[in-house]
Structure 1
Amino acid sequence: MSLLRIRNLSVDFATASGRFRAVDSVDQDVNTGEILAIVGESGSGKSVSMLALMGLLPWTARVTADEISFDGQDLLNMDRRARRRIIGNDLAMIFQEPMSSLNPCFTVGWQIKEALRFHLGLDRRARHARAVELFEQVGIPDPEKRLSAFPHQMSGGMNQRVMIAMAISCKPKLLIADEPTTALDVTIQAQILDLLAELRNETAMGLVLITHDMGVVAETAERVSVQYAGQKIEEQPVVPLFRTPHHPYTAALLDALPERATEKRLPTIPGVVPGQFDRPPGCLFSPRCKFADDRCRGEPPQPCGADLGQARCFHPLSTDERLAS
């Protein structure tokens, strides 16, 4: 049984001119101890889909789904009190913007100790010892002193490490990491990713890694889900995805990696992700796709079979076509 199971998740936001669909009929599964990477351009709905799972979207959002279950529990029909016991404890998230996620009115030590008090019921001495241990784990120097610092007294990278420490403090069963290493230098990036992988190995924690960094995906993930304009358009284990992407968008993303470039000028994907007013009636990638035809532009494609990476495309690429291009 999947640790996390999502079926037909959609998220719409109310705007002055109507409603905008940010996540469109997404299915997702994460097994115990698995590392799933979700990749895609900004605006593809990666973070929004996970925030919907956490119940952290604003009131302007309307979330619908056929199923959202975590560890055998139905999150869709669960009352708020029971959900609060899960969120932050068994199900935790590292947010992309630490400065807007930490409370500026309280010290970082108080905030991490409050999570330990609420979810684990530790006494004051145990909370302090655990907080120091967590700060040491994520590479925060002089942790005893840093516990009494406010977020504005620390750098963005330090605050990001505080967020990571807070997320792993209760040893969650599933951790969602939204660009967890964005504000960190390369050395600390490797340290944090190694820490998350080590925690996964020790506790069989599932890990959802939202990232733009395909190098991190290649080194860390076991399975990759590609999103575009709110839809999941391909999903494969990491090695087959890098070797043989089936959706033209996935292939274009990988072709833009510097290490794959065969010419001096890097290839790019023309155009932009469709917004509220330029959403095509057919395939959402059709305005930017060199393989698009009239059917693509007029009819929404359905996902293919697992042998083609569940590519949402009328013309999924085969191995021969990739070699030819």
Structure 2
Amino acid sequence: MALLSIRNLSVEFSTAGGPFRAVDGVDVTVDKGDILAIVGESGSGKSVSMMALMGLLPWTARITADEMSFDGTDLRSLTARQRRQVIGRDISMIFQEPMTSLNPCFTAGFQIKETLRQHLKLDRRARHARAIELMEMVGIPDPARRLNAFPHQLSGGMSQRVMIAMALACQPRLLIADEPTTALDVTIQAQILDLLQDLQKSTGMALILITHDMGVVAETAQRVQVQYAGQKVEEQPVRALFETPHHPYTAALLAALPERATERRLPTIPGVVPGQFDRPEGCLFSPRCRFADDICRHRAPPVQPPALGIARCHYPLDTAATEAAR
């Protein structure tokens, strides 16, 4: 049985201009100890999908799913009190912006200890010892002193480490990392990614890594799920995806990597991800796809079998076409 199983997840927001579907029929499966990367441009519904799982979307969001289960427990049927016993303890999340996710009014130590108090019911002495242990685990020097630091007294990399310590406080079985290296310099990015990999190996937890950096995916993940305009368009093991992408969008993302460039100017994908008022009738990628024809523009594409990367495409790329796309 999969640790996390989500089937046909949709998230629709009520707006002044009418309903907007930010996530459209997405499936997510994560096994114990698995590392899944979810990639795509901004506006692809990556973060919204996981925020829906965590129950952190505003009241304007309408969430539907055929299945949303964690280790056999149906998350849709839980009360708010029951859900709080799972979220934050068994499922935890590192948010995208540590400088805005930490509360500026409280010290780093207080915020870590509050997680321990809420979920593990530890006494004051045990919370203090565990907070120091967590800060040492994530590589924060002089942890006893750093517990008394406020967020504005910490650097971006240090704040991110505090966020990771908070997320790991209750030894979660599933950790969601939402672009954990955003706004960090290259050296700190490498340190954070190495830290997450080491912690995943030492604890055996499953990891969902949300990113738009294909280089991070190649170094970290085991499987890759590509999302576009709220839909999952491809899913493959990392090596297979990099060697033989089957969806034109995936091939275009990989072609834009500097190490794959054959000309001085990097290739780009024309246009933008469709929004609320410009969603195409057929394939959502058709306005930007150089392989699109009238069928693509007017008919929703089928989902291909696993041998073709579960690609949501009328004409999934074969090896020869992929090489041409690069």
- Distance, in Å, in 2 between the alignment partners of 1:286 and 1:185 is 35
Greater Cα offset, 298-307 or 184-193: 184-193
Q: Does 1:42 align with 2:42?
A: yes
SS of the residue aligned with 1:76?
A: helix
Q: CA RMSD in A?
A: 1.2
SS of the residue aligned with 2:193?
A: helix
Correspondence 1:190-205 to 2 at 5 A = 190-205=190-205
Question: Who is 1:94 aligned against?
Answer: 94
Question: Who is 1:157 aligned against?
Answer: 157
Residues 157 and 188 in structure 2, CA contact (< 8 A), matched pair in contact too:
no
Correspondence 1:198-217 to 2 at 5 A = 198-217=198-217
- 1:132 deviates by 1.4
Correspondence 1:166-181 to 2 at 5 A = 166-181=166-181
Residues 38 and 209 in structure 2, CA contact (< 8 A), matched pair in contact too:
yes
SS of the residue aligned with 1:188?
A: helix
Question: Who is 2:287 aligned against?
Answer: 287
- Distance, in Å, in 2 between the alignment partners of 1:193 and 1:155 is 17
Residues 164 and 180 in structure 1, CA contact (< 8 A), matched pair in contact too:
no
SS of the residue aligned with 2:2?
A: coil
Question: Who is 1:30 aligned against?
Answer: 30
SS of the residue aligned with 2:52?
A: helix
Greater Cα offset, 277-286 or 128-137: 128-137
- Distance, in Å, in 2 between the alignment partners of 1:149 and 1:294 is 60
- Count of aligned residue pairs for this structure pair: 325
Q: Deviations over 1:19-60 (max 9, x none)?
A: 111000001100000000000000000000000000000111
- Distance, in Å, in 2 between the alignment partners of 1:157 and 1:203 is 22
Correspondence 1:1-325 to 2 at 5 A = 1-325=1-325
Q: Which letter does structure 2 place at the counterpart of 1:145?
A: R
Q: Which letter does structure 1 place at the counterpart of 2:103?
A: N
- 1:127 deviates by 1.3
Residues 6 and 28 in structure 1, CA contact (< 8 A), matched pair in contact too:
yes
- 1:259 deviates by 0.3
Residues 115 and 166 in structure 2, CA contact (< 8 A), matched pair in contact too:
yes
Residues 252 and 269 in structure 1, CA contact (< 8 A), matched pair in contact too:
yes
Q: Deviations over 1:106-154 (max 9, x none)?
A: 1111010010112122221221122112222222232222211222222
Q: Which letter does structure 2 place at the counterpart of 1:220?
A: T
- 1:187 deviates by 3.1
- Distance, in Å, in 2 between the alignment partners of 1:81 and 1:324 is 54
- Distance, in Å, in 1 between the alignment partners of 2:115 and 2:47 is 22
- 1:243 deviates by 0.3
Q: Which letter does structure 2 place at the counterpart of 1:57?
A: L
- 1:195 deviates by 2.5
Residues 157 and 183 in structure 1, CA contact (< 8 A), matched pair in contact too:
no
- Distance, in Å, in 2 between the alignment partners of 1:4 and 1:256 is 32
Q: Deviations over 1:179-227 (max 9, x none)?
A: 1122333333333222222222233211000011111100110000000
- Give unpaired runs (5+ residues) of structure 1: none
SS of the residue aligned with 1:25?
A: strand
- Distance, in Å, in 2 between the alignment partners of 1:291 and 1:324 is 11
SS of the residue aligned with 1:207?
A: strand
Q: Which letter does structure 2 place at the counterpart of 1:244?
A: T
Identity of aligned residues (%): 75
Q: Which letter does structure 2 place at the counterpart of 1:130?
A: R
- Could you tell me the TM-score, scaled by structure 1's length? 0.97
SS of the residue aligned with 1:136?
A: helix
- 1:303 deviates by 0.9
SS of the residue aligned with 2:68?
A: strand
Residues 34 and 206 in structure 1, CA contact (< 8 A), matched pair in contact too:
yes
- Distance, in Å, in 1 between the alignment partners of 2:323 and 2:151 is 50
SS of the residue aligned with 1:62?
A: strand
- Distance, in Å, in 2 between the alignment partners of 1:163 and 1:232 is 28
Greater Cα offset, 131-140 or 232-241: 131-140
- Distance, in Å, in 2 between the alignment partners of 1:56 and 1:86 is 13
Greater Cα offset, 191-200 or 213-222: 191-200
- Could you tell me the TM-score, scaled by structure 2's length? 0.97
